[in-house]
Amino acid sequence: MERFDLVVIGDGAAGDCAVRPAGECLNYGCVPSKTLYQSAEVYHQMRRAGEFGVRASGVELDFPGVIARAQYVIETIRGDNPWGGVRADGITAFRSTATFLGPKQLQADGETVEADQIIISTGTKAGIPPVPGLAEAALLTNESIFKLGLLPGRLAVIGAGPIGAEMAQIFQRFGSQVMLLEMLPQVVPTEDEEISNALERILLGEGVHVYTAVRINEVRRNEDGSRTLQVTYGGHDLPITVDEVLVAAGRRPPISTSTPPAWRRHVAGSRWMSTSARRSRTSGRRGM
Ligand SMILES: Cc1cc2nc3c(=O)[nH]c(=O)nc-3n(C[C@H](O)[C@H](O)[C@H](O)COP(=O)(O)OP(=O)(O)OC[C@H]3O[C@@H](n4cnc5c(N)ncnc54)[C@H](O)[C@@H]3O)c2cc1C
């Protein structure tokens, strides 16, 4: 058994604060979303070039080129030997899932590891709302949208938080017809009403169909591969048919089916990020 002063579970942004970018931010989050945003911004501005007295003809979007650039940026940041720096710093890296055997003991890479202190930085995954048919409708999440092969003609985005609102604007600028669906009465609901209203005006102005206070009752995959969302909006039941559905309706802990039910929501963390096990800490108030 190997003994360490500190074990950090998870190599994402939070884990790096304790040891070195990886995880969601690099692979499925900040980095690819910002590269897509930049491509959308360049395309958007080039199509408006005439307004600025600039002649730009034949401007076309090369969607596979956009996706390839995002993957190139990820690979460039990751580098040829992502674990080299860690090892050079004297850190032992285990490239495997860590499982708790006891409060201070873990299993990783087939080895048993014991540590004085453990930091749980295992991040989050997209949460799938319990809408009948949604999980079976072959939906997109932040783990698949940055690898899309084809630009969807019609895209439904479920959830108008920061991720959903950003993706809605990006894909509308690329040329998809985007329907942004939010169950609460405003977009980016955690922001002030003034900010939400301003953002909603911008999205509507760019052509996004925004549905707030909407209820999604059911999602169905059609024979031609399209999906139909049955929604209740403004007191009416109506179908919305799209080519792809992106779910951006909040984040959940990356639990597995073997996780005891009582632990599935989150690792209980205090305001000091400690957990019920002495010497284990989370990288958030509610470690996920
Ligand atoms: C589309 C999108 C855009 C975003 N844009 C921004 C932005 O512009 N700015 C911003 O600040 N934030 C942004 N975020 C949020 C940002 O990505 C997260 O806040 C950040 O990645 C959280 O870091 P973390 O280390 O807590 O978790 P993660 O980055 O998820 O890292 C956790 C790591 O732990 C690993 N892991 C899980 N379980 C185990 C286990 N049992 N054993 C070993 N390893 C395990 C996972 O594989 C993962 O590599 C965005 C997120 C998304 C989805």
The model's pTM is 0.87
**pLDDT computed for residue 221 by the predictor:** 96
Pocket test for ligand 1, best of 8, 25, 120 (most atoms within 8 A of CB): 25
Please give the share of the chain, as a percent, with pLDDT higher than 70: 84
Indicate if ligand 1 lies below 6 Å from the C-beta of 14.
yes
Q: Which residue's CA is the nearest one to ligand 1's atom 49?
A: 23
Residue 68 host element (H or E): helix 63-78
Which pLDDT does position 278 carry in this prediction? 59
Domain 126-247 = CATH 3.50.50.60: yes
- Helix, strand or coil for residue 101? strand
Residue-wise pLDDT for 84-134, tens only, equals 667 777 888 888 889 889 888 999 989 999 999 998 888 889 999 999 999
**Atom 13 in ligand 1: which residue has the minimum CA distance?**
30
| Fold match between domain 2-124+252-282 and domain 126-247 | yes
pLDDT-derived band at 15, boundaries 50, 70, 90: low
Tell me how far apart the alpha carbons of residues 159 and 225 are, in angstroms, rounded to a whole number. Answer: 22
Between 30 and 91, the higher pLDDT residue? 30
Cβ–ligand 1 distance for 161 under 6 Å, the answer no
CA atoms within 13 A on the CB side of 286: 9
- Residue 273 clears pLDDT 90, i.e. is over it: no
pLDDT(248) > 80: yes
- Phi then psi dihedrals of residue 4, to 5 deg: -135, 160
| pLDDT score, position 208 | 98
Q: Are strands 251-252 and 125-126 parallel, antiparallel or unpaired?
A: antiparallel
Q: What is the mean pLDDT of residues 203-226?
A: 97
Q: How far is the CA of 273 from the centre of ligand 1 (A)?
A: 17
> What value does the mean pLDDT take over residues 255-281?
58
Residue nearest to atom 37 of ligand 1 (CA): 122
User: Given ligand 1 and candidates 9, 17, 30, which is best to mutate, with the most ligand atoms within 8 Å of its CB?
Assistant: 30
Tell the residue nearest (CA) to atom 5 of ligand 1: 30
Among 28-37, 75-84, 159-168, 221-230, the least confident range = 75-84
Q: Do the beta carbons of residue 176 and residue 152 sit within 8 Å?
A: yes
Q: Whose CA is nearest to atom 27 of ligand 1?
A: 123
CA of 266 to the centre of ligand 1 (A): 15
For the domain bounded by 2-124+252-282, which CATH number is listed? 3.50.50.60
17 lines ligand 1 (CB under 6 A): no
Closest-lying ligand 1 atom to the alpha carbon of residue 14: 25
- Write down the domain spans for the chain: 2-124+252-282, 126-247
Residue type (1 letter), 85 = G
